[in-house]
Structure 1
Amino acid sequence: MGTLVGHVAPGFGFFIIGLWHLLNHIKNHAINPKSYTSLPWFPTSKIRYLELILIMAGCTMSIAMELFIGPDRHQPLDRDGTIPSNHLHNFEHSSISITLFMYAAFSIVLDKIAPPAQYGLTHLLGSIAFGQQLLLFHLHSTDHMGVEGQYHWLLQIAIFISLVTTLLDINYPKSFLNSFARSVSIMFQGVWLMVMGFMLWTPQFIAKGCFMNLEEGHKVVRCHGEKALERAKSLVNIQFSWYFVGVTIFSLSLYLIMIKLYSKKVEYQSLKNFEEQEEDNEDDVEAQKKRKLEEPRSTFLQMGKSFAPMDMESS
């Protein structure tokens, strides 16, 4: 993961999943605001488990890159079978991928079996995955004091929000705002991971007074002196705030657009159903009128027959 591609690829995955959840949560709430219920994942019409399959595929690729493809000898262990210090971060990143794979796999199993606690357990698995991610980034083996450490520290804020909102979904499945915040936090994780990839491993984007240095098999951003380091960290904080504002504006704009779009569809369907009901009522009224017009006529004929002239000859 300690490369541009190693951050951009998983970041794009988090962004797509977060955006997918955000779109579906807004759509469901717009169509059924009173009966809205938060879902941990969303099936597609053609392939029900597409979202979960993509998560498992991405996690498998990540584990393969971290442990077998990325290392020089295509395996992360030392000759004596121990984990060398320069591969500790590979095991940390792959552990996150393993937990996310476990979440997706058990989500499919729970959906097929459909136990009573299906959705609660699925949310719990998601919170375990985010908890594992938060723990490993908080105790990351890479530098905690440098520029990369500042990016990781701010990333933990987004992960923490994802963790808390996922746990709250267990007891508050009907809270749209909680689901909205969770989707935005997952999407923002992806955005920030992609920003990290470009800003830490693209030489022209490195802050003034800092440089790339090869340490223990991977490149790390270092700065000339404490002043340059503090300036670089401040720039990271400013980036975080700008991207956070940008994601917030994007999310709220998307909400307003989709609410307006799907509310019109719901109103149109309701109006159409109302018109059909009115037509049925009119048909019923016409039928009742016709019956009423026919009933007097038949009664009159019957009365005429009863008052017919008497047959004098027979009498």
Structure 2
Amino acid sequence: MGSFPGHVLPGSLFLAIGAWHVWCSIVRYVSNPKSFRVRIWNPVPGFDGSLRYLELYVIVVGGFVDLCVEFLYATHLRIVVNGVLNPAHMNNFEHSGMLLMFFIFGVITLLSEKTSYLPLPEGALFFIASATFTSEYLLFLFHSTSHIGLEGYYHRILVLLVGLCILSAIAGALVPTSFPVDLCIGVSVTLQGLWFYQTAFTLYGPMMPDGCTIQDKEQIKCSSPEQEVHGELLANFQLFALVFGVLTSVAAVYIYAEPRFSRPDLVNSRASGNA
């Protein structure tokens, strides 16, 4: 069983990182399509370079804070009981492991980009990112919490979106000059963040489908199989609406960015070369 803040907090991090990646991917491509390369992270411009690594700090700090919430606050520091991990909080320990992977990815990327201690090529960082998403995928696929019924349906959709993040990260390492791949990375992370939000508002907030309730603070149950099917159909519609909204927003951002950030001199030189 999850909670509203337990979905909103990671959802906010994924949404912020994903939306920023989409924006930067489009701006970098329209600025110079010929030299475009896929990036695992994007620097924040301006402020004399003081915010350059803000995205990585968000991943590190956000992952660490969420890790502390899951491992320390949610367990009330009752981590070990009778010499073993507290069985009442196994889901929190599993979440902590996933968040630890994101924290490690952020730290490794910072060390690679800011120091000479761990110089890694961009492709290696993409494979580390894919390993991080894989840990998240396996967590939700083999969760100790029995996600059944409507709750299980929402988490199965989440697993699919995490799988898309894995594939796009691997593609980023294998096809380092592809704009569609770079854009897919941002879109998949954005969709994952939005689906965390959708799950929070639907299962633990005001959008619970009619006929379905949280019983004994443990499980979401529907009054009839028909109501459960109705909830699953609603989830399908919500996913479609989110995908449609994200793709429409991407198209709008491209239309906005193209005339503002494109460089006519590069377009003209490319056209001359083709002629």
* Same fold, judged at TM 0.5 (above): yes
CA displacement at 1:105 relative to structure 2: 0.4
Higher RCO structure, 1 or 2 (CA under 8 Å, sep 6+): 2
Count of aligned pairs between the two proteins: 263
Judge conservation of contact 1:142–1:149 (CA < 8 Å) in 2: no
Q: How does 1:127-138 map to 2 (within 5 A)?
A: 127-138=130-141
Judge conservation of contact 2:36–2:177 (CA < 8 Å) in 1: yes
Q: What is the distance in 2 between the residues matched to 1:122 and 1:3?
A: 32
3-state SS, counterpart of residue 214 of structure 2: strand
CA displacement at 1:172 relative to structure 2: 0.9
Displaced runs of 4 or more, over 3 A: 114-117, 268-271
Show the counterpart of 2:60.
Answer: 56
1:82 maps to amino acid: V
Is 1:97 equivalent to 2:94 in the alignment? no
Show the counterpart of 2:27.
Answer: 27
**Quick one: structure 1 residues 117 and 106, their matched pair in 2 at CA, closer, same or farther if it must change by over 3 Å?**
closer
Judge conservation of contact 1:67–1:76 (CA < 8 Å) in 2: no
CA displacement at 1:79 relative to structure 2: 2.5
Q: What is the distance in 2 between the residues matched to 1:46 and 1:7?
A: 31
3-state SS, counterpart of residue 205 of structure 1: coil
Q: What is the distance in 2 between the residues matched to 1:75 and 1:194?
A: 27
CA displacement at 1:19 relative to structure 2: 0.8
1:140 maps to amino acid: H
Show the counterpart of 2:232.
Answer: 233
Show the counterpart of 2:165.
Answer: 162
Judge conservation of contact 2:18–2:189 (CA < 8 Å) in 1: yes
Judge conservation of contact 2:18–2:188 (CA < 8 Å) in 1: yes
**Quick one: structure 1 residues 115 and 99, their matched pair in 2 at CA, closer, same or farther if it must change by over 3 Å?**
closer
Q: How does 1:101-116 map to 2 (within 5 A)?
A: 101-111=103-113, 112-113=115-116
CA displacement at 1:116 relative to structure 2: 6.8
1:82-122 per-position Cα deviation (integer Å, ceiling 9, x unaligned): 23433111011111110000100001112222877421111
Show the counterpart of 1:188.
Answer: 191
Moved more, 97-106 or 247-256: 247-256
3-state SS, counterpart of residue 206 of structure 1: coil
1:263-307 per-position Cα deviation (integer Å, ceiling 9, x unaligned): 2xx238999xxxxxxxxxxxxxxxxxxxxxxxxxxxxxxxxxxxx
CA displacement at 1:2 relative to structure 2: 1.9
1:235 maps to amino acid: L
Q: How does 1:258-273 map to 2 (within 5 A)?
A: 258-263=257-262, 266-267=263-264
3-state SS, counterpart of residue 222 of structure 1: strand
1:39-65 per-position Cα deviation (integer Å, ceiling 9, x unaligned): 111123323321111111111111111
3-state SS, counterpart of residue 113 of structure 1: coil
2:21 maps to amino acid: H
The root-mean-square deviation of aligned C-alpha atoms, in Å, is 2.1
3-state SS, counterpart of residue 14 of structure 2: helix
Larger-gyration structure (1/2): 1
Q: What is the distance in 1 between the residues matched to 2:166 and 2:223?
A: 37
Gaps of 5+ in 1: 272-315
1:59 maps to amino acid: G
Q: What is the distance in 1 between the residues matched to 2:134 and 2:172?
A: 15
Judge conservation of contact 1:96–1:133 (CA < 8 Å) in 2: yes
Show the counterpart of 1:248.
Answer: 247
Q: What is the distance in 2 between the residues matched to 1:157 and 1:246?
A: 18
Indicate the percent of aligned positions where both proteins have the same amino acid.
28
